[in-house]
Amino acid sequence: MSQSRTDYSQQTQWMLAVRDKRDRHAFVALFDYFAPRLKGFIIRSGASPHQAEEIVQDVMLTIWRKAASFDPHRAQVSAWIYQIARNRHIDIARKENRPMPEELKEEPGIEPDASQILGLEQEAGQLRQALANLKPEQREIIEKAYLGELTHQEISSQTGLPLGTIKSRIRLGLERLRHELKDLKQ
């Protein structure tokens, strides 16, 4: 299925090159795409421009070092980086280590399932479209929630996004991984 790799989004191709080949050119491409967005995002979530650059540096180094835990069957590059950025920001701002769920690691050498990866990318694209189609005030609430500006009580009163189809895609990726982890342990 490796011929399908060229159908993946640019970000996914860069990230896989970083993960599997430690490709520095791909890392630079990721930096050029994500670092300015990360800086804007971190400033919006309350950091000074100077502090934001420190966090961007931290996030980019984490991307390089933790690349092995990126699984394109379950997460878009942007979703994976989003969680790293929130974690690093909180770790630095609150000086505490954020508790993380146990990691389910993709074992090296497992054939990628291109249709699952492309399916997830498609769902994520539709989610982004749904977000863009929201009324501005509704969209602002969603952005505030994911920028970390709302408590869970405030989030529970917001109108939900349609997350059903992306959930079923992620579930397929998770089932595939669980199945393989089980096979490997036997």
Partner 1 sequence: MSAINHHTPDAMLAAYAAGTLPHAFAVAVASHVSLCAKCRVALEAHQAVGGAVLEDTSAVAVSSSLKDSILAQLDDPFTPEPVYDRNGIYPGPIMEVMKGRAPKWKKLGMGVRQDILTEDAFGSVRLLYIPSGQAVPDHSHNGLEMTLVLQGSFSDETGRFGVGDIEIADETLEHTPIADPGDACICLAATDARLRFNALIPRLLQPLFRI
Q: Which of residues 36-75 bind partner 1 (CB under 8 A)?
A: 36-41, 43-44, 49, 52-53, 56-57, 60-61, 64-65, 74-75
CB-wise, 98 or 115, nearer to partner 1? 98
Task: Say if residues 100 and 66 touch (Cβ distance below 8 Å).
Answer: no
For residue 166, CA distances in Å to 24, 41, 92, 112, 123 come to: 31, 23, 31, 19, 5
Site for partner 1 in 81-110 (CB under 8 A): 81-83, 85-87, 89-90, 94, 96-103
What's the min distance (Å) between Cβ of 8 and partner 1?
15
What's the min distance (Å) between Cβ of 3 and partner 1?
27
Site for partner 1 in 103-142 (CB under 8 A): 103, 123-124, 127-128, 131-132, 142
What's the min distance (Å) between Cβ of 148 and partner 1?
4
Q: What count of other Cβ atoms lies within 10 Å of the Cβ of residue 30?
A: 23
Residues with Cβ within 8 Å of 179's Cβ and at least 6 positions away in sequence, in order, are: none
Quick check: 179 binds partner 1 (CB under 8 A)?
no
CB-wise, 2 or 132, nearer to partner 1? 132
> Two tokens at 102?
């146990």
What's the min distance (Å) between Cβ of 50 and partner 1?
9
Q: How many residues bind partner 1 (CB under 8 A)?
A: 75
**Distance (Å, whole) CA 69 – CA 66:** 6
**Distance (Å, whole) CA 174 – CA 128:** 22
Q: Is 91 exposed, middle or buried (0-12, 13-18, 19+ CB in 10 A)?
A: middle
